[in-house]
Structures are given as C-alpha cells and as structure tokens.
Structure 1
Amino acid sequence: MQIKPTALLSGIVRHFLVVESDTQSTMRIFSDGNTGIVFNYGDTLFYQNEMQPGPASLPVSFLYGQLDAYRNVWAHGSIRLLIAVLYPFGAAALFKIPASELRNQIVGCDDCFKTDVELVNDEIASLPAIHDKIRAAEHFLLSQLHGSGSGNALVTHAINVIHSQNGLVPVTQLAALTGVTERQLQRKFEEQIGISPKRYAGVTRMQYALRMLRKKSTDLSLAGIACESGFFDQAHLIREMKNLSGLTPGQYLSPTNVLAANFVRLGH
C-alpha cells in the first residue's frame, strides 16, 4: 500500500509504503534508486551483517542508503513496517551530509536524528489506524526538516531526464543536457544521491523492465521486454536482474511474492 505524503514533505518523501505480513518469511530488498526511513511496529527484524558471522537485529527505526547489492531481512513473528520512501536526494537533503557516506549503510534513527526517536517509535506502534501512524511519522520528519527540503536543481533535472527516458540515456548526453562536464555530474550525483549517474540510470532501466513484468496485461514476451527496456537480449536482462536482485523473472513474479517494486518475499 502506497500513500502520498503531506504537501509539506512532498519535496523529500516520494510516498509512504506499508508492509504487513503474519507469515514468517525472509524478504529481499534491492535498489530502486531511492533511500528510505523504516519504522518497525511489528516484531524485531534481522539481517545478515557482513561484519559478523551471525544475523544482526535491526533498530526499531532506521535509515537505509543506496544499495549496491541486495539484502535479506526477516522476522520470527509478524512484520509491520511503515517506510518513508525518500527521493534519491532525500537522505542528503534531510541530514545535510554527502549521500555517498550512507551508501550501503543501515543506520539507526537514534544515530541520525538529534531528538528522541523512541517517542515517535512508541507513538507509531500504539496508534491503531495506518493514517494516524503516517501522520505521526510526518510530524516527526517535519520537525527534523531544517532549511531546504528538496534536492540540488542540477541533480533533480538530471533525474527527471533519466526517468523520462526510462534510464536509456548515456552519461555524455545527460551531461550535455544539464550543461556540466561528466566529471562534475558524477561528483554531484555522488554528493546528492550516493551513486554515479550511470549506476542510477541502470537501476532506472531495470525498474522500468520490472514494471513491464508486473503488468499482467502486457503482450510482450520476456525477450520483448528486454528489447523495449534497452537490454541486448533476454539473457542480458536476466543476468542484470540477478546482479541487482539475485532473482530470475520467474522468481520475482511468483504469486504473493512482490510486496513492493524492490521488496520481495522469498518464503519461509
């Protein structure tokens, strides 16, 4: 379930996403070009931390930056997540730090925000209705928003161009359209988004292919989707999809698996 934010947050929050499940399962998250803030009002979430051999528990609320590789998360009970999906530049705009520092990071909100995060965590958990939980999250985020709540104009323009072309735009052309050198564009993307323009365009192209996959009414075959979304052939699409998500198209589209575009239930 996706819900649009209040107008006051519309420059930084793309939408709120609600994920609820009572089935014990592992879930996989992979890059869609956005970052996000997760408020967990269910049972404790766990993930595999590369820095230690066993699983690690996630904070009740946390921020995730741009992801280079997919991650698996799971709970031993109910899953109840309210996710503020930020625009690609949202983390840098909100925290006033280079987005590159958040790349591949999961950071507890206690370490991100100066105010007492436990209060909003408790409030979100105690409120019965989803719209009330979202209102509490919005009030909290607005209290943290100091100064500009939007991204750099050059980067925003570049992102709009990338999306208008479904990711099928070379970096040379993107630099020419934004009036800067490729090196300047690269630096701005690293600062504001946390990944390169080439990487962002590639993720956008894959998300375009996944949207076509999810459309039940499409008449295109997998080979047709690959061609339409700018891949050399079906094998190229499958290879790139596995690199991004670890999944084949068939695994991605298994019944009840897709919780969000980049959030998939893997099973028990």
Structure 2
Amino acid sequence: MEAQYVRWRPAAAVRPFADWYTGYEQHGLPGRHRGLPSPYLTLIVTLDEPLRIAAHPDPATPPGRYDTLIGGLHTTPAIITHDGRGAGIQVALSPLGARALLGLPAGELAGADLDAACLLGPLADELRERVCLAAGWPARFRIVDELLTRRADPALAPAPEVSFAWRRLCATGGTLSPAELAGETGWSGRYLSRRFGIEIGLSPKVAARVARFDRARRRLQASGGAHPLAALAVECGYYDQAHLSREFSALAGVPPARWWAEEFRNVQSPLELTAADSGHDR
C-alpha cells in the first residue's frame, strides 16, 4: 500500500475547534488500517469509496460503510478495511469544540462512530458534495473552513476549568496526575472527573493515557520508526520500555514495532500546505 497525506491549518475562525485537516490518498493492495485513540474527535469526509469500518471501538456497533463519519474519543482502535484505494479529508476536532460544532458535549460521543449527518444534518451532504467537486486540496480545505465556520457557535463552550484542564493535560502529554490537574483548577478530583466525563468522554486518568500514547506514537511516526523505544518511553513519561509496549498493545492492539511495520512501511511524510501553495492569502 502506498499513501500520501497533505496537512492544512484551519482558518482562524475554526482553530478553537479543530487543530488541523489531513487530506489522504492511498492505492495498492487491499488491506486494513487501525484508527487509533487520540485526543481528537474525528470528522471524515470521503472523496470516492465509502469508509468501511470492520470493527468499531464499541464492539456493540456493527460493521458499516460511511460517506461521512464523526467518531468520539475512544481507547481501543477501529479497524478500517479498504479495497486498495481511497481518498478523503480527516478533521481533528477538539472535544472542547463539540458543543460549538456538533451541538452536544463530546462525552455523549465517547466510543461512538456515527454518520456525520446524524449530527450535522444536511450540512454533511453539502460538505461531501462540494469537496468532491473541488479541484485540489487547498480548494477542498477552504470549503471545510467555510462550512465549519458557518456551523460553529462559539457561545457554546465547556466550563473554563474543564477547558483549562484539558489544554494542560494535552500540553504536558498526559504526564500530570489527576490530583495535580484538579489542584490547578481549584476543583476536587471527583468533581473534575465527573465534569470530564460529561464534556470530554474520558476520565482525567484515561485521557492522560491517551494523550501520552498519542505523543509517543506521533514521535515514533515522525522518526520513520527509528526512534529507540527505551528513549521514547522516557521522553513520553512511561516507566520504561516495557510499560510503553504494554500501553501500545492496550491502546493500538499491537506493540509499537508491529504497528509501524503494518501502517507506515510505504507511507510518505505529510506534506504541509499553506495559503502560498494555493495562490491566496488566508
């Protein structure tokens, strides 16, 4: 399998709710891909074949095909199958923006995969139709900017303490303990955990595990799979390499080396696009 990825920073109006857009194209032999736990909700808009999910993070959800999809935070991988080709746009949504963009807290989406129309209504179909007709990645990303800006209601936001705690947890890569995090908000650990469950969908302790794992797997990916695992474990706050491998197996379903070999053997590094690449100012 060969794959190419293109990254784009959202428009200023969207950045409080989404960190980046990724355009992807792949072709080759049929296979499968692991959709890993991360600190982001996922919005996927396909450009050709529907997204085929063979196994969801929630095992009670049957396999399905999706032209557009929204997925909540989760702690086990989704298994995505393909016939050798596929293209689409993946939007990394902050759980802090779930109320503003989706109309409900991220906690109500924990572990779930839904047709995006269930939450976005007709906008989901409009989004897919327009990006499919657009020529080139910059034009497609600008359509995503336009429609998410239209959809967003900045007045809908979690409590400031939840937003602060979530940003601190992500900025520190999950290395702050729940007690430290609660202390910085001025809330009790129990109250912070309850509010996290509502607004984020994970407890502070589990969210820290996901953030730490996400940092480790991204560093491993950026190194081309060459980052020594013992050093990676220390850098990302694990006790040792064995601890890193156990957490990887728990959250990705396989150890680090196997994950890398299965997912990225023929994948190019993401190409970062900016306004200069499309001939327009942003």
Instruction: Summarize the Cα distance change of 1:30–1:220 in structure 2 as closer, same or farther, 3 Å threshold.
Output: closer
Distance 2:158 2:117 in 1: 24
Distance 1:73 1:149 in 2: 32
Distance 2:214 2:167 in 1: 15
User: Which residue among 178, 194, 197 is the counterpart of 1:187?
Assistant: 194
Give the CA deviation at 1:57.
1.5
Give the CA deviation at 1:186.
0.9
In the other structure, the counterpart of 2:213 is: 206
| Structure 2 contact 54–81 (Cα < 8 Å) conserved | no
In the other structure, the counterpart of 1:263 is: none
User: Which residue among 138, 141, 151 is the counterpart of 1:134?
Assistant: 141
Deviates more, 1:83-92 or 1:100-109: 83-92
Distance 1:220 1:106 in 2: 32
Amino acid at match of 2:86: I
| Structure 1 contact 36–83 (Cα < 8 Å) conserved | yes
Q: TM-score, normalised by structure 1?
A: 0.87
Give the CA deviation at 1:112.
0.7
In the other structure, the counterpart of 1:47 is: 53
How many residues align? The count is: 258
Give the CA deviation at 1:52.
7.0
1:28 match: secondary structure: strand
In the other structure, the counterpart of 1:26 is: 32
Unmatched tracts of structure 2, length 5 or more: 1-5, 271-282
Distance 2:26 2:113 in 1: 22
Give the CA deviation at 1:217.
9.2
1:68 match: secondary structure: coil
2:128 match: secondary structure: helix
Query: What pairs up with 1:72-83 in 2 under 5 angstroms?
Result: 72-83=79-90
For each residue in 1:94-136, what CA deviation from the matched residue of structure 2 results, as whole angstroms up to 9, or x when unmatched? Answer: 2232322211111112211243532321111111211111111
In the other structure, the counterpart of 1:265 is: none
| Structure 1 contact 92–191 (Cα < 8 Å) conserved | no
1:11 match: secondary structure: coil
User: Which residue among 107, 114, 117 is the counterpart of 2:114?
Assistant: 107
Distance 2:202 2:53 in 1: 23
Give the CA deviation at 1:56.
2.2
Distance 2:92 2:43 in 1: 7
Residues 1:5 and 2:13 are matched in the alignment:
no
Amino acid at match of 2:69: F
User: Which residue among 172, 191, 199 is the counterpart of 2:179?
Assistant: 172
In the other structure, the counterpart of 1:236 is: 243
Amino acid at match of 1:16: Y
Distance 2:110 2:210 in 1: 15
Give the CA deviation at 1:18.
1.1
| Structure 1 contact 190–196 (Cα < 8 Å) conserved | yes
Give the CA deviation at 1:64.
0.6
RMSD, matched Cα: 2.4
In the other structure, the counterpart of 1:160 is: 167
For each residue in 1:177-232, what CA deviation from the matched residue of structure 2 results, as whole angstroms up to 9, or x when unmatched? Answer: 11111122112211221111111111111222223323439996322222332222
Residues 1:256 and 2:263 are matched in the alignment:
no
Distance 1:258 1:169 in 2: 33
2:202 match: secondary structure: coil
Give the CA deviation at 1:8.
0.8
Distance 2:174 2:220 in 1: 16
In the other structure, the counterpart of 1:57 is: 65
In the other structure, the counterpart of 1:17 is: 22
In the other structure, the counterpart of 1:264 is: none
Distance 1:47 1:179 in 2: 41
In the other structure, the counterpart of 2:92 is: 85
Unmatched tracts of structure 1, length 5 or more: 261-268
User: Which residue among 126, 130, 150 is the counterpart of 1:123?
Assistant: 130
| Structure 2 contact 169–211 (Cα < 8 Å) conserved | yes
| Structure 2 contact 77–251 (Cα < 8 Å) conserved | yes
| Structure 2 contact 73–202 (Cα < 8 Å) conserved | yes
Instruction: Summarize the Cα distance change of 1:52–1:252 in structure 2 as closer, same or farther, 3 Å threshold.
Output: closer
Q: Percent of counterpart pairs with the same letter?
A: 22
